[in-house]
Chains A and B, each alone.
Chain A
Amino acid sequence: MKIGVVGAGPSGLYFSLLMARTGTHDVTVFERNPRGATYGWGVVFSEGTLAELAEVDYLTYLDLERSLVRWSAIDIRHHNSTIRSHGHGFSAISRHTLLRVLEDRAEELGVRVNFETEVSATDLGSGFDLVVAADGVNSELRSHHRRAFRPSLHEHPTRYIWLGAPFAFDAFTFVFAPTPAGLFQAHAYPYDADGSTFIVETTEETWQRSGMNDANEDESVAFCSKLFADHLDGNSLRSNRSLWNRFVTVRTRHWYSLEAGGPPLVLMGDAAHTAHFSIGSGTKLAMEDAAGLYQALNAHPENLRLALAEYEGERQPPVARFQEAARDSARYFEFVGHHLLLDPATFAFNLLTRSGRVTHLDMERRDPSLTISADRLVAGIDAGEVVPPPSLTAVNVGGLDLPNRLVADFGDGTGEGLLLTPTVAVDNVGRSHLGSAVAGSDGSRYSTNGRAVGVVIGHAGARASTRPPGDGLDRPLREGGWEPIACSAIPYSPAHRVPRSMSDDDMTTVIAAFGTAAAWARDLGFALLVVDAARGGLLAGFLSPITNQRSDRFGGDVNARSRFPLEVFEAARENWRGPVAVRLSVTDWIRGGISLEDSIAIASGFAAAGASLVEVVGGGTVAEAEPGYRRGYLISVAAEVRQRVGVAVLVGGGITSRDEADTAIAAGRADLIRIDPYRYRRPLTR
């Protein structure tokens, strides 16, 4: 096959040499820059990537291996303290050496590498059986054929600058440097005996306040050198045409096109996808692409269509997983300032588990000593005593002692420290359906058997008067229904009755009903009262700007929208002895809904009104939305609420194992965890 490769970066060269090695392909590489002109300092490989490289082409691996630096520690420096975590296993190489090794090997195998040769999409018309676009994040071939590839580009909100340090750090090093303008952080790692990559990152606001938005290259380098002087052993940072940028994540729907108007065209490396630098995987993914494409072409020498389909099919899922982890990691660093008040060991654990790919179990294996320090802080147990896993440590929530930090629904569960009832309606109008439990009725069904049971009280608001939920939610009753009441006269869905916008009298009634319900629950001996202000119920209807369109003092900004729910909360609390919690939807999953800042303000309001615990849930505000369901999808917002409001949080949602619970608790992201309730349930089939 005659193959044209655009771009002599790691993926383009590696793919070329692998194909040339077979002796049956004719490979030409086109590179716009001169030989040896590389931007950037070093690249990181994992042990897994190296093993794969060794398997795919051992000779190249040996050449690379000689130039690798390896280390296994991560240093986390903040508050004048350094926490060193062991057992992480990294390797890195200078980008310059990597390219030289690949160039030499490619040319030795007969690849023609044409440097300083610019080719455009139309130049590659004929003469090739396959064209590989390995032309990087700003790929011209990808843009030219964007209809075929369907790329999407997302610019991250933080600013970063890619610098070098003239010595080798002995660990992957994170430095957090507060300044009057705000927080800067450095991500630094060695790539050879006397050089390290040194990336400095900050938020847009801090970047502007610090004046870096007006700084030229020299000023930027000088600023960073001074800021991180304590960590540079008297050295200055180095620049390589370095400027403050915003990272761009590239995703492409399709990685190849058979209808590009010329030979088949396939994307590889940064041209197809990028992943935020904070998980350091760009080059690794690019070289894995190269190996993947080579293997697919090898497996189907007679069927290019199938080979390309297989390449895409094999590579897209792992790349998507890395991109998801990279997005979490990038987002983590946007808000990292909020976590800096955590104890250093907890913060270190928090940082190391940020992308969701490293869990408590992994940390126990990699760094038992840091893990036990973090676990001890959770348990409040001194050195020398046995420390239970974080989720199984006792906790006190607003005076309520719980034997562990796991939460289950009443009726489910095998030993969780806290059980929660379904939402009990405060009165008949607030029932979701005719079978809903109502406060004031017989409470004997909630026998506590000595376990801590929390009672959830609420009002269905616009979602009232529906059929039983077993056969589907939000199907309004045709007969025997009643008029729902809600913040504003907006039906929950087109099928629902338009609710009555609450009058002053309605408000008085509801406040009284919550008070009476709390008294009823108190007399039944429940351990915790949870006020349900989530999922589109009556109180949630006030909190969300989507459902609250009132122009009186209960509508408007977030404080006004919180006013009535807080009055209700206080009425309930007055008739209760013991801790009170609130359940909040922290997002509506639609444009124009509750923002993160709204949620923080709302949670702060409830905490100030005496809530000891916030249960973080999402959505339910409107019938149709686009929730971002995935593993542990609410944990990062819960962590924001916990850190910024300073209140205990309970969170669930896509958490399926105790390991995930342990991770979130040890990292200080949550206090109580609800694990996937379906472990205890089987589908109801007719």
Chain B
Amino acid sequence: MKIGIGLPTSIPGRGGDGVVEWALRAEGAGFSSLGVVDRVAYDAWEPLVSLAAAAAVTQRVRLASMVMIGPLHNTALLARQAATVDLISEGRLTLGLGIGARHDDYLASGVDPAQRGERLTEQLARLRDHWEDTTVGPVPFQSGGPDLLVGGASGGALLRMARLADGYVHGGGPARSFASAALRVRTAWEDVDRPGAPQLWAQAYFGLGNPDLGDAYLRDYYAFTGAFAEKVVAANLRNPLEVRDYIRSYDEAGCENLVLLPTVAELDEVDRLAEVVSQVRL
């Protein structure tokens, strides 16, 4: 299993220099990918612009959105943006898309949330069309365009994933729930008789240096979910032992890419996490 780290783009208080430096340090520390999350109605940076900045200062690390709220975007423009990041990074973009969890984000963007599932389905198909055809430019670096990941584990979301994307991003929680989602992901892939096999990605939050600060951030970021916020807080990986156990359990459950998202924007968090990760033998 490969291990990536999130960029602190959605944590209030991060600085411009900080995020770029974070990307550099993360690549230097050997993380396999840099992940970004997406929220509109919050003090958070735009994911693809952030990944473009990271792309400019890194050479090797994969750049992943986990996940962007697809239906908020005009598909042709999203295809261009993603293709551009893919070109800047020379083929390192993995584009994760979902419908998001917040109506606020739709309201703030002036987009009607009705039928967002169907719109995401259409968007997935159209993105590929744009990348393969030449009407809308540029042509991405990766042939056929970046890999597409989709979040959401309902039957409909999994069907969409299996028909039109390259893999699945899990939203967090214990490895056991990931394992049961992964089974259903593969079942969906088999059901639609798609060639190949789905990629399996997952994510979790960590806060090592000052976990209480991290908890407070999560409580704020997930305030819109009501009681669910406490669940997210309870799952925050607050010490090296929890991080190691989590990594091992996800590896055993068959995850291929685990991205650990920061809850505290201090640069030292990159080194702290790298230190812990270096001690895990998979």
The answer, yes or no, to whether B192 is at the interface (CB within 8 Å) is yes
Q: How far is the CA of A684 from the CA of B197 in the complex (A)?
A: 7
CB-CB under 8 A for A624 and B191, given A472-B124, A683-B166: no
B190 touches A676 (CB 8 A): yes
Number of interface residues of B (CB under 8 A): 56
Determine the chain B residues whose CB is within 8 A of the CB of A309 once the complex forms: 227, 230-231, 233-234
The B-contacting residues of A in range 644-682, CB under 8 angstroms, are 652-654, 656, 676-678, 681-682
Q: How far is the CA of A617 from the CA of B180 in the complex (A)?
A: 21
A624 touches B234 (CB 8 A): no
Stretch at the interface among A83-91, A504-512, A516-524, A629-637: A629-637
Determine the chain A residues whose CB is within 8 A of the CB of B190 once the complex forms: 652-654, 676-678
The answer, yes or no, to whether A620 is at the interface (CB within 8 Å) is yes
A653 touches B191 (CB 8 A): yes
- Chain B 155-184, CB-CB to A under 8 Å as 1, else 0, gives 110111001111100000010110010011
Residue A473 contacts which of B118, B144, B194 (CB distance < 8 angstroms)?
Answer: B194
Cβ distance A409 to chain B, nearest Cβ, rounded Å: 9
A474 touches B256 (CB 8 A): no
The answer, yes or no, to whether B109 is at the interface (CB within 8 Å) is no
Cβ distance A371 to chain B, nearest Cβ, rounded Å: 25
Residue B186 contacts which of A473, A535, A676 (CB distance < 8 angstroms)?
Answer: A676
Cβ distance B48 to chain A, nearest Cβ, rounded Å: 18
Residue B192 contacts which of A305, A473, A624 (CB distance < 8 angstroms)?
Answer: A473
Cβ distance B168 to chain A, nearest Cβ, rounded Å: 10
Cβ distance A510 to chain B, nearest Cβ, rounded Å: 21
Q: How far is the CA of A254 from the CA of B227 in the complex (A)?
A: 8
Q: How far is the CA of A306 from the CA of B148 in the complex (A)?
A: 36
B133 touches A686 (CB 8 A): no
B contact residues vs A (CB 8 Å cutoff)? 91, 117-118, 121-122, 124-125, 128-129, 132-133, 142-144, 146-148, 154-156, 158-160, 163-167, 174, 176-177, 180, 183-184, 186-200, 227, 230-231, 233-235, 256
A495 touches B125 (CB 8 A): yes
A683 touches B233 (CB 8 A): no
Determine the chain B residues whose CB is within 8 A of the CB of A683 once the complex forms: 166-167, 196-200, 256
CB-CB under 8 A for A678 and B186, given A306-B233, A309-B234, A625-B159: yes
A478 touches B133 (CB 8 A): yes
Residue B196 contacts which of A474, A629, A681 (CB distance < 8 angstroms)?
Answer: A681
Chain B contact surface mostly: helix
Determine the chain B residues whose CB is within 8 A of the CB of A258 once the complex forms: 227
The answer, yes or no, to whether A618 is at the interface (CB within 8 Å) is yes
B187 touches A654 (CB 8 A): yes
Determine the chain A residues whose CB is within 8 A of the CB of B159 once the complex forms: 619, 624-627
Chain A contact surface mostly: loop
The answer, yes or no, to whether A317 is at the interface (CB within 8 Å) is yes
Contacts beyond the supplied A317-B174, A478-B133, A676-B186: 20 A-B pairs with Cβ under 8 Å: A306-B230, A309-B234, A312-B231, A472-B125, A472-B164, A473-B194, A475-B125, A475-B164, A589-B155, A617-B191, A619-B159, A620-B192, A625-B159, A627-B156, A629-B191, A630-B183, A654-B186, A684-B196, A685-B199, A686-B146
Q: How far is the CA of A527 from the CA of B166 in the complex (A)?
A: 34
A478 touches B129 (CB 8 A): yes
CB-CB under 8 A for A686 and B197, given A478-B133, A495-B125: no
Cβ distance A322 to chain B, nearest Cβ, rounded Å: 14
Determine the chain A residues whose CB is within 8 A of the CB of B91 once the complex forms: 686
A626 touches B234 (CB 8 A): no
